[in-house]
Structure 1
Amino acid sequence: MSLPEQLLLSDLLRGRVRCQAGIDHGPGVMAWMHPPVHRLLGWISKPSAFGDRRQAWRLDQLRGLVELEALVQGQGSDTDSATTERLPTLIEAAVLDRRGEPIGTLADAAVELSSGRILHYLVSRSDPRLPGSSRWRLSPDRIVDQQPGQVSTGLSGLDDLPLARASVRQEFLRRSRRWRDQVQEETSRLRDQFQQAGDRFEERLEGWLEDPDPEPFDDRYRDSEPRRPRPSEPPSEAWDDWDGLDGWQDDPNEPPPPPAGRRRRQAPDDEDDPWI
């Protein structure tokens, strides 16, 4: 059975230890590690729910993980709870920032199974036992000092670390921050476009004002149809021939009289004839 190259410590401690003889040696309870060099040596199991008997297993005894069971080869080393509690470990240690303020807890570790080297730790902001909480990746080279129960870093906050697993709240905050950045970028782009359009309009307006002989505005937009005279304007010659239409609409059956300019001279009456 092949093993993965990397393994989370929580996955190793979650399974019950079973040897090649099929004997159940209980679940894993804690890690057996060497903190100064950030290396995992093995883990401790609890064979019985009662008593202080414990068993230590080396990491190279692991042969596989099947359905929440850690398959091991060989026999474990018997010990007790008082001895295992004195083993140094960084798991569940408080993480301090550059000001010495706690910002989280070391909840888990990613281990290289071939050498036992801890690739990175997983930091939890809240209680690591809460399901679905976020995890931030902390590499060992960012730890500047370590003491029993706490590690010191040069971080200003957990936001300086890459996010390994996001909770529902953290994922919502991250998406909200991304949407806000996109809205700000779009607003900035539209503002730049409006600014450019305003600059072009000002340049054209200044060009019109500075032109010494601008093209007449009326000639460009003058209507091509003939313009009727206004009441205040004298009638033009085109309307002289239509002065005989006054009163034509009084009798619609009567034909319109001829224009005054084209009216034929009538024969004089007898009374006006000077020869009679």
Structure 2
Amino acid sequence: MVRPPPPVAHPPPPGPPLSLAVKVVAQRVFIRGRGIDVEMGGEVQVGGTTAAPVPSGALTLKRGTLDILTRKLTFQRGNIGFVSGTLVPQLDLAAQSTVRSTTITIAITGTPTAPEVKFTSSPELPQDEVLARLLFDRATGNLSPFEIAQLAAALAQLTGVGGGSNPLDRVRNALGLDRLGVSSAEGSNAAAVEAGRYVAPGVFLGVRQGTNGGQTGVGVQVEITPNIKLEGQTATGPAGDRVGLSYEFEY
């Protein structure tokens, strides 16, 4: 006896798309990779429908650094926003450092999957000379073969060619920290290890351990409002104890 095939179950037709009105308030968003260690915050609204969501709003820079070989640049500008009609965020980040009398800026724009990196300097230098001046304080033509290889590795890091994870990121994740890095004062060979984490909403506790006689201390930052932060620091060294009130204005 031949049995008839079982009836095929057809899924019900999809219902009409639902309207969206979602607001996300992000106090701490960390962006890491390719030498970037950035903390951002802001608001993002999602409108439209479930079939065609429309995001708007932006995340703005709180603090951040960019590590390239032995150089650490501080981010001066940071914004991640959404262009109307697309779910892909747009980057607008800029980090700066000064080598002697030359101020060097590395700007990162585009999208997270296809970032565009641009080097500029003041006084102005050719594009291919800026990174060599930043890393080695010399023109490209005066670099050794080993330094040229390091220059290529730095470019690969920024553009994402070659990949590879940062050992500090692995240690930071293992210790459960929000921030972990190595810094040095401008014009000084003394390095310091900085580590910290959020112990409560808006309250950041950090520790700085100097090497070769560098300053050691503990710092606390309390976010009173999105624009007003109270910072306290106790340290061994010439700076000593310090308490400050800072105001950030976005324009």
RCO comparison, higher one (Cα < 8 Å, 6+): 1
Structure number with greater Rg is 1
TM-score range relative to shorter protein = under 0.3
Q: TM-score, normalised on structure 2? A: 0.22
Whose helix fraction is larger, Structure 1's or Structure 2's?
1
